[in-house]
Structure 1
Amino acid sequence: MPSEPLRLAVVEVTRHRPHAPRYDAYVQTMVARALGDAARGGWVAERLAARDLGADALLRETSRADAVVVLGGEDVSPHLYGAQGGYPGEGPHDVVADEAQIALVRRSLETLTPVLGICRGHQIVSVALGGTLVQHLHDESGLHRTGGVPADLSMTDHSVAIEPTSRLAGVLGKTAVVRSSHHQAIGRPGDGLVVVARAADGAVEAVEHERAPITGVQWHPEDPGADRAQLPALLARLRHEALANRTSVRAA
């Protein structure tokens, strides 16, 4: 056991969305699930909002974190991955939150601090490392989300195929049924990232860094309707990586 509790930074876009109360209430349930599962897994978890803090304060507040979870939210600002706005289904952007979370991912890579990116967080991981996004999935089959309904009703369940030799397969197996709601996806993965899961239509569903303990999943294991075992399993893997990183730092 570690000599002191492992600290987990759970980073969202913003704490409140008064302009979108229904969506905000739904996000609160997912953040609460992430925090609750983290506490049950032995973490001391702190909730932090990237927009509300900005890059400098977010880096300062997470400087002692043993691992980071970057949660979902709004579309990533297109200019950060070399694209333009005006695409179908374009949602709101928050460049302050984008830049703060990107700075956090880049520092985590330098320090080998474990990271789990979820949905938007998975996309932020790739953009932080120079990747691009597919700006809009033409998803007539409803594989990735249910269209034309409020966010809390848009989740859809589908299977993903996981690369058998990946770290993720060691956690979830070679296939998994996941719960998602998204209209964007990783296009070209960022530097050092390897695609380790895809949906039936070929969309990127998960990535891992080739040398750092960084993982991104496009789905929402923290959703109330998701498989109850998935998020605890992912957090347990993150804990294993955090313990290994703490041991190596002390050894050095």
Structure 2
Amino acid sequence: MLQLAVVEVTDARPHAPEYDAYTRGMTRRTVADAAILGWDARLLTAERLGTDGLLDATESADAIVIMGGEDIAPEFYGGQSGYEGEGHHYRTADAAELALVRRAALRATPVLGICRGHQVINVAFGGTLVQHMEETGHRLTDLPVEYTLVEHPVSLERSSTLALRLGEHVTVQSGHHQVIDRPGPGLRAVGWSHDGHIEAVEHDILPITGVQWHPEAPMAPVDQLERLLDGLEREALRQLAA
């Protein structure tokens, strides 16, 4: 049985209980769906474990999923504090997840990043972020958290692995105010939203993929998460056979 590490930012948000419950619900769905598909799926909390603890806990992982959550602290990608929409940061989790992606790159461990996880991948490779988008169409504000996600189309590059798994045109659920600005070295943009923002990246040679949207959201297409997890399994088996 392949071991999947599902990494969340934190397991305690006393300042935002509704957001915490909604976010952790999607994380629990990811773990549960992975288990149904045959993974030995383990949920790990980056803020609680820290860098050394997270690296130790994922030492034998065959693949990794980095989940969504809060903005990465701007000092990790050369940004400035005080930007519009800036919220609570979990710097211990940021450092731990960035270290995890960098070790995965050295070992060719398959990684899937979702929303924040997609941005973590980019920052780990030296990329930058747009700190706040003025455009609408990627999330709803001033509504209960369960209504913040927006449905919109994404176009995937025909030759990309994601297009082979999901098709060239997909409908997604997203809820974010930051996006990738400059992809890090080795990463290439393979997916774009209706307004031209980067929605997906793949590494040129490593089994590392990021999607800005939420395939694990309650209203996401029913098989979207399953197809992405199936892709991770194929990559993990390929690495074991190498």
* TM bin (shorter chain): over 0.9
Equivalenced residue count is 242
User: What residue in structure 2 maps to residue 159 of structure 1?
Assistant: 153
Residue 147 (structure 1) shift: 1.7
Inter-partner Cα distance in structure 2 for 1:99 and 1:151: 27
DSSP-derived class of the 1:215 partner: strand
SS at match of 1:14: coil
Distance in 2 of aligned mates of 1:131 and 1:28: 27
1:237 aligned onto 2:231: yes
Instruction: Kindly indicate whether residue 80 of structure 2 is the aligned counterpart of residue 84 of structure 1.
Output: yes
Q: Which moved more, 1:27-36 or 1:206-215?
A: 27-36
What per-residue deviation string (whole Å, max 9, x for no partner) do you get for residues 179-235 of structure 1? 000000000001100100000111100000000000000000011111111000000
Q: For residues 178-217 of structure 1, what are the structure 2 equivalents within 5 Å?
A: 178-217=172-211
Displacement of 1:26:
0.6
**Which residue number in structure 1 is paired with residue 141 of structure 2?**
147
Q: Which segments of structure 1 move beyond 3 Å, counting only runs of 4 or more?
A: none
Deviates more, 1:50-59 or 1:147-156: 147-156
Letter in 2 for 1:190: G
1:28, distance to aligned residue in structure 2 (A) = 2.0
1:144-177 superposed Cα distances (whole Å, 9 cap, x missing partner): 0012223221000000010000000000000000
Coordinate RMSD, CA, aligned: 0.7
Q: Is the 8 A contact 1:29 1:224 kept in 2?
A: no
Amino acid at match of 1:39: A
Seq. identity, %:
53
Q: Say whether residues 1:36 and 2:38 are aligned partners.
A: no
The 1-side partners of 2:70 and 2:168 are apart by 30
- Tell me if structure 2 keeps the 8 A contact 1:9–1:68: yes
**For residues 1-252 of structure 1, what are the structure 2 equivalents within 5 Å?**
5-139=1-135, 142-248=136-242
How far 1:29 moved relative to its partner? 1.1
Alignment check: 8 A CA contact 1:207 1:217 kept: yes
Contact 1:13–1:72 (CA under 8 A) maintained in structure 2? yes
For structure 1, the residue ranges without an aligned partner over 5 or more in a row are: none
Structure 2: 5+ residue stretches without partners:
none
| Per-residue deviation, 1:99 | 0.3
- Hey, what's the Cα distance between the residues in 2 that align with 1:190 and 1:152? 32
What do residues 12-69 of structure 1 show as CA deviations (whole Å, max 9, x unaligned)?
0011212211111111210111011101111000000000000000000000000000
**Counterpart amino acid of residue 235 in structure 2:** E
